[in-house]
Amino acid sequence: MIQDIDYYINGINFTEYGVYVSASSGIASKPEVKNKLSVDWNDYHGIAIDRSAPRYKEREITLDCFIEAFGYDDFIEKYRGFIAQFEGANTKRLKIDVGTKPLVYEVLCLDKFDIQKKWNPDHMIGTFRIMLTEPEPVKRVLRHTGAANSTAQITMTTKKLVNVYWGDGTATFDVSGTNKQITHQYSEAGEYDIIVTGMIEAITAFTTNAIILWSRLL
């Protein structure tokens, strides 16, 4: 079974659980714009509308999936292992390899999985839909590649609070200030995609020893 686009959850390819994506929505489209403040003055024509840059709502992602297994035990093991990746209180890392630069999201699964299946002692197929929410859809994406105990470093100036997700399941929240420096050490060698979320437009200075993949991804 081959799919042209690779989907990962917490660094694990969907296919390791026998899961394939047949259709998706919300991946590349912009989230809905928040309502702007407007005032309707009785003694003026039209209305006065806030003309500042738009602010966006959370992103909603839908993945239509099917899971392939061989026998009851294999099916249950794969399915339970897959859904366990979405459990827990913190956001999970969804990564989609669709080109030379990946699409990455910090997501929550706020809805239950409802799988449709027909039991078969040999070849089993089940279909289900994943509903995911990306609370912070505007982001800058970096990539750090290094040996064990290597360190990623970011220095930025911003008056707005931003969050940094280091790509190994850890995060630094509520970063702001002038020439604010934050670092993170990785215990294992590898390639890590770092996500900086928030009012990216408000960052007035930014340097890093990582590679910038996306200056602003929405």
Q: What is the mean pLDDT of residues 115-127?
A: 82
> Which helix (H) or strand (E) covers residue 41, if one does?
none
Question: What was the pLDDT predicted at 120?
Answer: 74
pLDDT in tens, 176-206: 999 999 999 999 999 999 999 999 999 999 9
pLDDT-derived band at 115, boundaries 50, 70, 90:
confident
The dotted CATH code for 6-29+57-134 is 2.40.30.200
Where are the chain's structural domains? 6-29+57-134, 139-217
What's the confidence (pLDDT) of residue 3?
54
Residue at 21: amino acid letter = V
Collapse the DSSP code of 202 into the 3-class scheme (helix H, G, I; strand E, B; otherwise coil) and give the result: helix
Q: Over the stretch 63-110, which tens digit does the pLDDT of each residue have?
A: 999 999 988 889 899 999 999 999 988 999 999 998 789 999 999 998
Q: What is the pLDDT of residue 2?
A: 47
- The tokens describing 110, both together, are 């706020």
DSSP 8-state secondary structure symbol assigned to residue 70: E
pLDDT at 116: 85
Structure tokens that stand for 176 in this block: 């702001």
* Separation of CA 33 from chain center: 19
Tell me the percentage of the chain whose pLDDT exceeds 90: 71
Residues 6+ apart with CB under 8 A from 180: 155, 156, 157, 158
Residue range 10-21: mean pLDDT, rounded: 96
How is residue 40 annotated by DSSP?
-
Select from 70, 33, 69 the least CA-distant residue to 50. 33
Residues 6+ apart with CB under 8 A from 20: 1, 3, 14, 65, 66, 67, 68
